[in-house]
Amino acid sequence: MDEQDITGATDATLPNGADNGPAIGMISQYVKDLSFESPTAPAVFSSENQQQAPQMDVEFGIGTTQVGDEFHEVTLKIEVRAKMGDQTAFIVDLTYAGLFGARNVPEEHLRPFLLAQAPTLLFPFARRIVADVTRDGNFTPLLLDPIDFGTLYQQQLEAQEQQAEGVIGNA
């Protein structure tokens, strides 16, 4: 009898180079949607506006979609709104995605990868795109602060557990 590891995969060698061990990896990454607008240009470039730092509102979202038996698309959505005084300086709306292949990976390991590790892999590239597009819009390049997606994922899990306990406690 073949030995099994904790993922349920066996150590048996399969014919023709087939592999039954768990495997996951990035296949490709791409800009799915990108929008930049500077609705108040050229007024936003006046000398009085250039002396003040813009107020930034940055929002992130992560989504996953299974696109095949062994393929998942992970999207990192970044929305930035910058205001200078009462004028909107610029708006960036980026959806950056990666296609990941996963084979023989249990759901309890796949979900954390897709919602924590995959966005961590995609973020540096999305960050560069945001910096480039803001620079190309004649603004100081916006360098987004690094994000700990693993901690955010854990916090989301804890919040869901607390919410579920509250629902059960109130039943």
Tell me the pLDDT tens digit for each residue of 49-88.
666 788 999 999 999 999 999 999 999 999 999 998 888 9
Strands 55-68 and 87-103: unpaired
Q: What is the predicted pLDDT for the residue at 2?
A: 46
The kind and range of the H/E element at 166 are: helix 149-170
Tell me the C-alpha to C-alpha distance, in Å, between residue 22 and each of 2, 17, 72. 16, 15, 15
Rg (CA), the chain: 22
Question: What digits encode the pLDDT tens for the residues 12-49?
Answer: 555 665 667 889 999 999 999 999 999 998 888 876 66
Q: What is the predicted pLDDT for the residue at 162?
A: 83
pTM over 0.85? The answer is no
Please give the Cα distance from 154 to 140 (Å, whole number): 34
Q: What does pLDDT average to over the chain?
A: 87
Handedness of CA 100, 131, 144, 95 (dihedral sign): negative
Question: What digits encode the pLDDT tens for the residues 99-144?
Answer: 999 999 998 999 999 999 999 999 999 999 999 999 999 999 999 9
Q: What is the predicted pLDDT for the residue at 48?
A: 67
Q: Which of helix, strand or coil describes residue 42?
A: coil
Share of the chain above pLDDT 90, in %: 60
Q: What is the predicted pLDDT for the residue at 19?
A: 67
